[in-house]
Amino acid sequence: MIWRNIISIADLTNDEIEQIFELADSTHQLRADKVAAGRIMATLFYEPSTRTRLSFESAMQRLGGSVVSCSDMKSSSTAKGETVADTAKVVSSYADVLVVRHHWDGAVQAMAEHADVPMINAGDGSHEHPTQTLCDLYTLKKEKGDLKGLTVVICGDLKNGRTIHSLVYALARFGANVVTLAANGMELPQYVIERLQREYQYSLAPVASDDLRAVVTETDALYLTPKQPHQLALFTQMDSAVQSQLATMVSGLRYDAFYMTRKQKERMKEGTTGGSYPTIGADFLRKQRFKDTVVMHPLPRVDELSPEVDKDRRGIYFKQAAYGVPVRMALLKFVFDRMDGKAKPAKKTVQWFQSPDPFGPQCSNANCITVTEPGSATKKFEVLSNGPGAALLLRCSYCDHRFKVQLIGHAKSKRYCAYDISLADTLKDWLKKHELAIFNSIKEAEELGYEPYKSGPQRTIMDDVEILAGVRELSQQIARDCSDLDRLLILGIRSKGSYLAQRIAAELEERQKRKPEVGEVEIYGSGEEIRRIAPADAEMAPMVLKDRTIILVDDVIYTGRTVNSALSIIFRSGRPQSVRLAVLIDRGHREVPLKPNYVGKHIPSSERERVRVKLREVEHDEEDKVVIYSIIGPTEA
């Protein structure tokens, strides 16, 4: 039998969501028809819940069905070490539909793969909470009419809040705009922003912060919209131009709703929960600007909403919670209607990559089910052959996190090579034929019996003396322009940019007898994106970007997309006074209108060539050098 699981908001099309809303408008009929008569729903909650579980159970009973429930999984066989896969298999023989909440990202999908009945995700880790999104959209529609063109401000813990992640994808699909207003360190993850860009062509712009002063926060608001304006072209030779760019940020937006969320303390590392948190209170309510702005919250709230909001007509979160029952009645009816074996899944069909070899790539998210309980999940990834920096990225099918991989192989001929964008078509072809292999390291590839493809002869275009001179030249220029060492922050793009940033900082130290602060930005990671390298003092307060003069450092600039990603991370984490770009090598071919302020050497090159900076820190015994070579890919080898 085929049925429909509701694991992600992507499991429902816009039309289907509208259908569910229509059903939710006529719950008296659903009740009269007893659409769940004779059916049993099982609820398995591995995490606390009030609204989601009780409204699901109430919905099922109102439809004439019955419920078996395990509200505290510690009293189940889970406590004896039963896997989620086994629990799902067993319980699905006791019930006709399973509603599950779990603390691991992707756990509900893994359970769905082992269950014999439809599975509904009631929240999985920090990943998604699609049925909350249905309640949120239903509430917004009731209050504001059409979703298209609305501007919704999402507020608070955007990093760990699963309701936020499902909601932003849905808002994007319905053509609404999103403004992010994150607590410091809890910004919307880069993988979510990239997905909004990739799948819905959303772009980012900073919002003039005066607009949102009534809601206290240290980080900048960002505007995500399917249209311009854009934050590109921020780099110019002149700081004043950067300043005027920042001055033309989006202002005068009409805010239709604020969606506040609680700090997800249980999902944070200890000691990372500090800092101020946005709040909505009297100040907000007094502002003419927000006179028609409704305030929503998935609840539970802690102290981010003050009591005045409860009494105000704009505070609609209790109504939003009450809609939980009709919306979930409608969803259950929708799911039962699709248990006849004819239903097709709504999701876009992705050609998943599964490693033909043992090991294979590993999801970078430590809370992903493929990491926490690998035996319950079969690793599958979407292959994104043109990520930022033209990198090859894999998106985990369970938790959505994406990470970079560099080595690919052809399983039939047992050859491997470093991925390059010129191999994108070949890669797609191998994927289609199930002949694609991906490795974590050369060692892994060779142990599996793969041999390298060839590359053309390498030509050294810069030796260690020239590289040293290049770094000195960059440092001198930076020292000339940025005399205020307290303001200066040298930020390298991981990993070679970080080493160059440290070398530049050492040069500056020698010159000025004081070391500037050095940090690094990780654009492919899914954890901490910006961190301090020096001074290397674990006790120090987190790095502050506000009002700093940032020198962003990378080894080679090519398309400019890497820098663009780093830039979006920086602007999500605080507003510096200016950002300038320093690169050892500029090889042209820009896709994004960026112009470095400081360049060690211009090296015109063709798109078929690779320019590699080899640094002692990475290559260990080798001397510093920059080499260029052409790629003799699988097609010519």
Pairwise CA distance, residues 376 & 359, whole Å: 16
Q: How far is the CB of 261 from ligand NCD (least distance, A)?
A: 6
Give the ranges where 103-250 is alpha helix by DSSP (H): 107-112, 130-144, 162-173, 190-200, 239-247
Within 13 Å, how many C-alpha atoms sit on residue 180's CB side? 33
Q: How far is the CB of 185 from ligand NCD (least distance, A)?
A: 17
Beta bridge partners of 294: 257
Q: How far is the CB of 186 from ligand NCD (least distance, A)?
A: 12
The distance in angstroms from the start CA to the end CA of the chain is: 47
Choice between 163 and 177, CB closer to ligand NCD: 163
Radius of gyration of the chain (CA): 26
Q: How far is the CB of 142 from ligand NCD (least distance, A)?
A: 17
Report CA torsion sign: 592, 594, 599, 603. positive
Q: How far is the CB of 166 from ligand NCD (least distance, A)?
A: 10
Choice between 67 and 478, CB closer to ligand NCD: 67
Q: How far is the CB of 315 from ligand NCD (least distance, A)?
A: 16
Q: How far is the CB of 62 from ligand NCD (least distance, A)?
A: 19
Question: Which residue type occupies 33?
Answer: D
Q: How far is the CB of 52 from ligand NCD (least distance, A)?
A: 4
User: What are the C-alpha distances in Å from 363 to residues 372, 433, 548?
Assistant: 11, 23, 34
Please check whether residue 490 is in contact with residue 553, taking contact to mean a CB–CB distance below 8 angstroms: yes
Q: How far is the CB of 298 from ligand NCD (least distance, A)?
A: 4
Pairwise CA distance, residues 167 & 10, whole Å: 11
Q: How far is the CB of 83 from ligand NCD (least distance, A)?
A: 23
Please check whether residue 222 is in contact with residue 571, taking contact to mean a CB–CB distance below 8 angstroms: yes
Pairwise CA distance, residues 438 & 355, whole Å: 7
Choice between 325 and 482, CB closer to ligand NCD: 325
Choice between 119 and 550, CB closer to ligand NCD: 119
Choice between 135 and 567, CB closer to ligand NCD: 135
Closest CA to 441 of 412, 418, 411: 418
Q: How far is the CB of 263 from ligand NCD (least distance, A)?
A: 9
The order of strands in the sheet holding 451-452 is 436-439, 407-410, 415-418, 451-452
Choice between 262 and 580, CB closer to ligand NCD: 262
Examine residue 495 and say whether the peptide bond preceding it is cis (omega within 30 degrees of 0). Answer: yes
Question: Judging by DSSP bridges, how do beta strands 488-493 and 549-557 pair with one another?
Answer: parallel
Q: How far is the CB of 63 from ligand NCD (least distance, A)?
A: 20
Choice between 301 and 616, CB closer to ligand NCD: 301
Tell me if residue 420 falls in helix, strand or coil.
Answer: coil
Pairwise CA distance, residues 438 & 455, whole Å: 19
Ramachandran bin of 387, using left for φ above 0, alpha for ψ from -120 to 50, beta for the remaining angles = beta
| Tokens matching residue 622 | 């080798």
Choice between 12 and 501, CB closer to ligand NCD: 12
Beta bridge partners of 405: 392
Among 5, 8, 27, 52, binds ligand NCD (CB under 6 A): 52
Choice between 316 and 603, CB closer to ligand NCD: 316
Site string for ligand NCD, 119-158 (x = CB under 6 A): ----x-----x--x--------------------------
Q: How far is the CB of 163 from ligand NCD (least distance, A)?
A: 5
Neighbours of 256 (CB within 10 A): 20
Site string for ligand NCD, 471-510 (x = CB under 6 A): ----------------------------------------
Please check whether residue 119 is in contact with residue 108, taking contact to mean a CB–CB distance below 8 angstroms: yes
Choice between 54 and 543, CB closer to ligand NCD: 54
Choice between 51 and 379, CB closer to ligand NCD: 51
Interacting residues with ligand NCD between 223 and 262 (CB under 6 A): 261-262
Please check whether residue 210 is in contact with residue 201, taking contact to mean a CB–CB distance below 8 angstroms: no
Interacting residues with ligand NCD between 259 and 278 (CB under 6 A): 261-262
Binding to ligand NCD by residue 338, rule CB under 6 A? Answer: no
Site string for ligand NCD, 32-51 (x = CB under 6 A): -------------------x
Beta bridge partners of 580: 551
Beta bridge partners of 492: 520, 553
Choice between 126 and 225, CB closer to ligand NCD: 126
Please check whether residue 111 is in contact with residue 100, taking contact to mean a CB–CB distance below 8 angstroms: yes
Binding to ligand NCD by residue 162, rule CB under 6 A? Answer: yes
Binding to ligand NCD by residue 163, rule CB under 6 A? Answer: yes
Examine residue 229 and say whether the peptide bond preceding it is cis (omega within 30 degrees of 0). Answer: yes
Among 299, 369, 427, 581, binds ligand NCD (CB under 6 A): 299
Binding to ligand NCD by residue 298, rule CB under 6 A? Answer: yes
How many chain residues touch ligand NCD (CB under 6 A)?
Answer: 11
43: burial class by Cβ within 10 Å (0-12, 13-18, 19+)? buried
Binding to ligand NCD by residue 328, rule CB under 6 A? Answer: no
Q: Give the residue closest to ligand NCD by C-beta.
A: 298
Q: How far is the CB of 70 from ligand NCD (least distance, A)?
A: 17
Any residues with CB less than 8 A from the CB of 204 and at least 6 apart, and which? 193, 222, 223, 224, 230, 231, 568, 571
Pairwise CA distance, residues 225 & 168, whole Å: 11
Q: How far is the CB of 293 from ligand NCD (least distance, A)?
A: 21
| Tokens matching residue 584 | 């050892």
Note the residues at the interface with ligand NCD (CB under 6 A): 51-52, 123, 129, 132, 162-163, 261-262, 298-299
